[in-house]
Structure 1
Amino acid sequence: MVWQEYESVEKSALWFLGQSGFYLKSGGVSVVIDPYLSDCVGEDSPLFTRTYPAPVSPYDLKADIYIVTHDHLDHLDPATIRAYSHKEETIFVAPRHAAKKLEILGINPQQIRIVDQGDGLAVSGIDIQGVFALGTDEGVLDTTGYRIRFENGKSVYHTSDTSFCDLLLRACPHADVLLPCINGKFGNLTAEQAVLLTQAVNPQYVVPHHYDVMELNGENPNVFRYFCVQSGMEERCRILKPLEMLEW
């Protein structure tokens, strides 16, 4: 895969997988967050069929740490997890209810680490912090954002799905790279709200997600770019194509 040859110690990199999925790597340690590499949502609800094929097969995916932010099909994807070939080598991180779903899908409980909002975990030289997120429906009240900090100090904050509220701005951590949802549907942040969060986090780069895979649940990422420009953060905004890399 495109990230196999990346071995930098001083820097870190991430690759966009579409929807809310990202692959991160630094110092030889790899993390995948919310990979949605099937069309299970579309199979359940045809109006939400994928608009383009998954950029990588779950059979080809391998990571030291596999993070799930909450139990929605496009984040905790049963088809991707069933096809994932490295279940016994990978540490799975999830909030409490999502962790139970992972067990149902055949993940060994010994490989699962529960990290809820406010919790912390050190694993494989990486610091993982559970961050406040306001779940978008009653079935995912344990929704959790995550900040990942590598041994070299480089950090990423993935918001998960989240609604907007004042506490989100007050509880957000600083991170080098912010990954906010921007689709503004089904309770998620709008592009303008995501820029308010960007101002609060004050990252070096901001990479939007949750806008591209399902037409009825999408957004034009250039709307987010517009609000970044209006807020004086044009140089921080990076809109990535699937499998495009950002290094920092």
Structure 2
Amino acid sequence: MEMKIITDYLLQPSEAALWWLGQAGYILKSGGKIIVIDPYLSDSASGGVAGFSRAFAAPLLPESLNADVYIITHDHLDHLDPVTIRAYPRKTETWFIAPRLAAKKLPGLGVPEERILVVNAGESVTVDSVTVTGVFALPTGKDVIDTTGYLIEFSNGRTVYHTSDTQFHPLVLDAAPSKPDVMLVPINGKWKNTNAEEAVLFAKAVSPGYVMPNHYDLMPLNAENPEVFEWFCHHHRLLSKPVIPKHFKPFTWDI
């Protein structure tokens, strides 16, 4: 896939679109603005272990990535990818948003300090007409205690809630935003992350228009079958529409 496909992708004023990059990485577009979240475009997290190596090639070269806002949810290599960030060419033009500890890693990867915005849970910032609000997530390890989900709201009112990696807990449900257009939630169920059934119960509490599973596709030892997620959607009579996205294909929605 070429970034030009996204930059040239036409949307109506009230529409938004997203492209799934694999794992928990996305590109969002609406109102003429492009947002990237946790793009993992290398194999840096594999550590030489076959079971954690990429199951498919990265859809983009980091050098071709182009965004107005670059969001990082926490400092794990498949979310804050140093290879991708070092190679990203528009560091002086892009706003980088991350929680407090993850943000400290960015200057060492070549991101100018004046382009870094620290947004923790409960905080909001508006840049380039896009409002980004930090949402509480329960960290999956002591090494990422600042893990933060994010609610992205475009100028036309389209909203996306990226939960980040998180444990399933009543406080996470209570802190989550209500009725976003789209909810992006992990289903791998390993290393304390939400599993397929928990993701559905999470979505029931949030009531998004659409719910999309992630974090199940890229690494053989960290995988899940999305059909399990779909089964639990039916089992728990989820009113939100489940969408199993296709890699690098646009999903477009309106009001």
> What TM-score comes out, normalization by structure 2 length?
0.94
By how many angstroms is 1:230 displaced? 1.5
In structure 2, distance between residues paired with 1:137 and 1:52: 27
By how many angstroms is 1:69 displaced? 0.2
For residues 149-228 of structure 1, the aligned pairs below 5 Å read 149-174=153-178, 175-228=180-233
In structure 2, distance between residues paired with 1:219 and 1:80: 25
Gaps of 5+ in 1: none
Q: Secondary structure at the match of 1:128?
A: strand
For 1:34, the equivalent position in structure 2 comes to 38
Question: Aligned to 1:106, which of 85, 107, 110?
Answer: 110
What do you get for the CA RMSD once the two structures are aligned?
Answer: 1.2
For residues 1-248 of structure 1, the aligned pairs below 5 Å read 1=3, 2-8=5-11, 9-174=13-178, 175-233=180-238, 236-248=241-253
Whether the aligned pair in 2 keeps the contact of 1:69 and 1:160 (CA below 8 Å) is yes
2:85 aligned partner, one-letter code:
I
Gaps of 5+ in 2: none
Judging changes above 3 Å, is the alpha-carbon distance between structure 1 residues 154 and 228 closer, same or farther for their aligned structure 2 residues? same
In structure 1, distance between residues paired with 2:153 and 2:51: 37
Q: Secondary structure at the match of 2:137?
A: coil
Whether the aligned pair in 1 keeps the contact of 2:36 and 2:71 (CA below 8 Å) is yes
By how many angstroms is 1:229 displaced? 1.5
In structure 2, distance between residues paired with 1:40 and 1:13: 28
Whether the aligned pair in 2 keeps the contact of 1:225 and 1:234 (CA below 8 Å) is no
Number of positions where the alignment pairs a residue of Structure 1 with one of Structure 2:
248
Whether the aligned pair in 2 keeps the contact of 1:19 and 1:211 (CA below 8 Å) is yes
Worse overlay, 201-210 or 4-13:
4-13
In structure 1, distance between residues paired with 2:10 and 2:118: 28
In structure 1, distance between residues paired with 2:130 and 2:232: 33
By how many angstroms is 1:163 displaced? 0.5
Q: Secondary structure at the match of 1:241?
A: coil
In structure 1, distance between residues paired with 2:93 and 2:229: 38
By how many angstroms is 1:83 displaced? 1.0
In structure 2, distance between residues paired with 1:168 and 1:113: 23
In structure 1, distance between residues paired with 2:205 and 2:251: 21
In structure 2, distance between residues paired with 1:54 and 1:242: 10
In structure 2, distance between residues paired with 1:189 and 1:228: 14
In structure 2, distance between residues paired with 1:246 and 1:162: 24
By how many angstroms is 1:89 displaced? 0.7
Q: Secondary structure at the match of 1:15?
A: strand
By how many angstroms is 1:44 displaced? 4.7
In structure 2, distance between residues paired with 1:236 and 1:107: 38
